[in-house]
Amino acid sequence: MTELRDFSWSEVCARRLERHGLAAPLKDARPADVAGAMAGVHAQVMSAAEVGIGMRLGTGTRQDVRDALWKERSLVKTYGLRGTVHLVPARDLALWVGALSALPLIQPRHRPDTGLTPGQTEEVVAAIREALADTELTVDELTDEVVARTGPWAGDLVMEAFQGKWPRWRQAMHLAGMRGALCFAPDRGRKAAFTDPRRSVPGFVPAAPEEALPWLVRSHLHAYGPSTPQRFAHWTNVPPAWAKELFASLGDALEPVLVEGEAAWVAAGDLAVPETAPHGVRLLPYFDGYAYRVGNQPPALLYPGEAADRARRGNFQLLLVDGTVAGRWHQRRSGRKLAVTVESFTGLSPARLDDLGRQTARLGEILEAVPTLTLGPVTTGGHA
C-alpha cells in the first residue's frame, strides 16, 4: 500500500497563501484572475470585495474592480456560494451556475405563513427570468414585475429586513441567481439593479452538472486544499453525506492525503508545496476573512491561542501572520483620510511591523485614501 503524503500545517498555510495571492501578489493578474484563484470573492459589501481583490494585485485601485465589472465585463456579481453575493469570473459563470444549480442546498425553515412552497419558488424564479430577459430593473421594479406574473402573495411583506419587511418573493432571489436567472447590473443611484446574465455574458449557457460539479470540487481543492467532504459541505451549504458521495464519485481524479495525520483530499497529483515557509503580515477585509475561515480549516490550527476566542466567531477583519489568524483590524474613513487600527494578539517583530506598514499603504492605494496606522485595541464588533 502506497504511503500517503502527510502535509504539515506549515505546508498547508504556504500553499493557501501562495494560491490566494497572499504570499505575494498574483503575477500579471487582473481582478477576474483573483476571483478565479479564490474560487469566488464574497461581495455582500462591495468595498470589502474591492479591498480583497486589490490586496492580491501588485498595483491598482478599487476602480479597477469596478471597471472589470461594468466596463470590461470580465467579472460578474451574482448570488453564489451559500446563496450569498459573490464576484466570479465571467469566463467561469457557466460552470458556477451549472454547479450551484445541481447542489442539494440546505434550505432555511420558514413558517407556513411566511415561506414559499416549492411550487411558488419555481413560479418566482420563472417570473424573474422573464422580467429581466431584455432589461435592467431595480429591486422595486422587479417586485412589481414578479407580483404581476405570479400573484399578490409574492408581494406580501413577510420577510424581516434591516429597516422593515421585504416581500415574500425575495426568499427565492438568491436561488434565481444561483440558477442563472439574474445577476447584478450597475446600481441605479442608491438602489441595486439586476439583469439577465445573458445580457452581461454573451452566449451564457449553464454547464451540465456532470462537468460543473467536478470543476467545483477541483476549484475548492485548488484554493483551499487539502480539504475534506465535510469542509466542502460547509463551504457550499450542502448535506455532508451528499458531499461525501460526490467526492467518492470522482474516483482517481482525487488523491487521498494527510494533514498532520488527519485524512484529507487534493486533486490528483496536486502535491506541490512552495519552497519558502509561510510568511508575511496580511490584512483581510470583511467577508474575505469569513471566506478564509469557511474554506480554510481546521479551526484549531487556523485560530491559535487568543484568536480562538476573539476572532473565530463573527465577521471580523482579520490580521494574518504567516497564514494564521493573529489579530483584528478596523478602518474609519473621513474624506481622503483613512484611520487604520490594528490589534495584534501576539508581538510583532520589526520586520513584521514593516510588512504591516506596507499593507496599510497598499490599503490606502486601493481605497484612494491617505492612511494612518495605529496599533491598539479594536473595540468594534464583527460586521453584520
Half-sphere exposure of 175 (CA within 13 A, CB side): 21
DSSP run (H or E) holding 246: helix 240-249
Q: Which three cell numbers stand for residue 86?
A: 459573490
b vs e for 299-315, b when ≥16 Cβ sit within 10 Å of the residue's Cβ? eebbbbeebeebbeeeb
The confidence score (pLDDT) of residue 303 equals 86
Please state, in angstroms and rounded to a whole number, the distance separating the CA atoms of residues 70 and 290.
26
pLDDT digits (tens, 9 = 90+) for 25-35: 999 999 999 99
Residue pLDDT, tens place only, 133-151: 999 999 999 999 999 999 9
Give the model confidence (pLDDT) of 176-195 as tens digits. 999 999 999 999 999 999 99
Percent of the chain with pLDDT over 70: 96
Q: Residue 314's closest CA among 241, 231, 381, 230?
A: 381
Confidence of residue 290 (pLDDT cuts 50, 70, 90): low
H/E stretch holding 172 reads: none
Which residue type is seen at 151?
A: G
Question: pLDDT tens-digit profile of 80-127?
Answer: 999 999 999 999 999 999 999 999 987 777 677 788 999 999 999 999
Domain positions in the chain are: 10-138+174-200, 281-375
CA atoms within 13 A on the CB side of 196: 18
For 195-227, what is each residue's pLDDT tens digit?
Answer: 999 999 999 999 999 999 999 999 999 999 999
Q: Is the pLDDT of residue 302 over 50?
A: yes
**At residue 48, what are phi and psi to the nearest 5 degrees?**
-70, -40
Q: CA-CA distances (angstroms) from residue 10 to 301, 322, 352?
A: 10, 9, 18
Average pLDDT (44-57) is 94
The pTM assigned to this predicted structure is 0.94
DSSP 8-state assignment for residue 272 = -
> What are the grid coordinates assigned to 253, written together?
481524479
pLDDT at position 288: 81
Q: Which residue has the higher pLDDT, 108 or 370?
A: 370
